Chains A and B, each alone.
Chain A
Amino acid sequence: MECNGCEFKPELYYDAEYQIWLRLEEDDTLTVGMTDLSQAIAGHILHVRVRRPGTRRPPGKPVATIESGKWAGPIPNFMDCTIVEANEAVMDQPDLLNKDPYGAWIARVEVEGGGAQALQDYLTGDAAYEGYCDRARRDDIHCHRD
């Protein structure tokens, strides 16, 4: 599924602005990544830094930061969570986030209250697809692979 060339995965969970995607793992942790919309807006990503495993991050405090061109900023975080694992492959080759935004996850986190519970605040499936396309059209975002 796609909008303006931006890939969408209905089985994942998304924030209201479709900046990040979340996937529930068997151990109730959540895997966090950047959406195709986000990577398209950011441009070619040169650096990714993930907080050390074991670090607790309250809502509003990012689990990771990225840099593209001369822009730097956070991957937004809306949960009270602790970093379990960082994707070393992405830290070594940050533009994997551009090339394969849904394969190249950023971090795995353990959420206060559990991952399944936390996902109730996020969008998924058809409703998410509609919102995702609205955002792509509203902000005139088009995706392409390098």
Chain B
Amino acid sequence: MRDERTLRVLDTGLRRAAENLALNRSLLECHQEGHSPHTLRFLRFEPSALVGFHQNVDQELLTEVCRAEGIDIQRRITGGGAIYFDPTQIGWELYVDKRFVGSSDMEKIAGRICRAAARGISRLGVDARFRPRNDIEVDGRKISGTGGAFDGDSIMYQGTLLIDFDVERMLRVLRIPAEKLSDKAIASARDRVANLRELLGELPPLETIQQSLAEAFAETFNVDLAPADSMDGVEQSRFEQALREMDSDEWIYQRNRPAVDSPLLEAVHRAPGGLMRAGVSLDRERGRIGQVWITGDFFTNPRRMLVDLEAALRGIAVVDLERTLHDFFDDYPVEMLMLTRDDFIRVLRLALDSDDAAPANGDNPTHAVG
């Protein structure tokens, strides 16, 4: 029987992506089978580009850049989008069940865990807050992204924590519009993320960061912490089995689709309030928007409205674009200078309409100007 009021704390150190992700699977399976205790794991990655469980590598990553720079490519068991992970980030993961978190609702579970993590990060001297649905931010800048996997009643919920992050390198390995790689766009991406070194002026010791997170989880979920040196024999053997399967092209490139099925569409719209640029990654086969990026020299208050809008549009059907955008602005208090919601619709429509359905080269974004 599992001790419901104890949270084991494991630190599995700096590892290759394949090992870290095989540990995800093995520890979740062992928890689901009732073998493993509730566990908080801290982890770090050698430079790695990780796609979400249902994503296609060639549609999300610049694989040549990854190979040339020695960046591992791997597939997570959690959902969400592609991320870049390297030793300038710490990973944290909880292996618990729905009863531990106190809800069956996946959105509530994510919220409760993220709020606990935000409290842990705040103990270091910053004001970290949960940003629905899955991020933790400091003053509107993302410091931790999260995602989860479930198996029956067991869940594994994981997050990153940026401690000293290289935004430019991240942008170089992910397949995003070329426009995002301009100096201005990189500066804008830097504005949207925060890291501990920058916020605090110096980097706290790793142990302090981990202790702050662990104590916040223990307090939130009313459990005692039980530090452990290593996994047990069953977990170790399950890990080796998972590693054999996941450290392979069959796992990483499963059901891969070529980049051409997922074009990156871009458009420019000269609105009265300023120049707007939009990038849209389109899942052509399913008629869905993967992700959107909106930049420009227009004015909005709060500025974070843009990232919230981008989050609201992620994964929606193309036919739902206008409705989703209207729903968003109906509920979102925002000040805009000589700019209306129609300008956002216009620039995104221009980008989507620029899809010619059969581009000669999927690596080159299609452009439209309006």
Contacts and interface: CB of A to CB of B under 8 A. Distances in A.
Interface of A: 17, 19, 41-43, 46-47, 49, 65, 67-74, 76, 92-93, 139-141
B105 A41 contact: yes
Interface stretch (B88-96, B141-149, B183-191, B302-310): B141-149
Nearest to A94: B286
B80 A70 contact: yes
Given A47-B54, A72-B53, A41 B104 contact: yes
Given A41-B106, A92-B286, A141-B104, A73 B133 contact: no
Contacts of A67: 52-54, 79
A72 B106 contact: no
B151 A70 contact: no
Interface string B244-263: 00000000000100000000
A54 B326 CA distance: 45
Interface of B: 52-54, 77-80, 98, 104-107, 110, 133-134, 146-153, 255, 286, 315
Binding site secondary structure of chain B: loop
Nearest 3 pairs between A and B by C-beta?
A70-B147, A70-B80, A73-B150
A72 B107 CA distance: 13
B104 A72 contact: no
Given A71-B148, A72-B79, A74-B151, A140 B107 contact: no
Nearest to A73: B150
11 contacts: A41-B105, A46-B79, A47-B54, A67-B53, A68-B106, A71-B110, A73-B150, A73-B151, A74-B151, A93-B286, A141-B105
Nearest to A76: B152
B78 A49 contact: no
B315 A139 contact: no
Contacts of B151: 73-74
Contacts of A140: 104
A71 B78 contact: yes
Nearest to A42: B106
Contact of A72 (B54, B98, B146): B54
Contacts of A68: 79, 106
Given A47-B54, A49-B54, A49-B255, A71 B79 contact: yes
Given A41-B105, A49-B255, A139-B104, A69 B133 contact: yes
Given A17-B152, A41-B106, A71-B147, 5 more contacts: A43-B107, A67-B79, A70-B134, A72-B52, A72-B149
A68 B74 CA distance: 20
A140 B153 CA distance: 15
Contacts of B104: 41, 139-141
A42 B150 CA distance: 10
Nearest to B53: A72
B315 A71 contact: no
B150 A71 contact: yes
B286 A71 contact: no
Contacts of A43: 105-107
A65 B134 CA distance: 20
Contacts of B315: 46
Contacts of B286: 92-93
A113 B335 CA distance: 65
A130 B78 CA distance: 33
A69 B106 contact: yes
A69 B153 CA distance: 17
B152 A72 contact: no
A73 B149 contact: yes
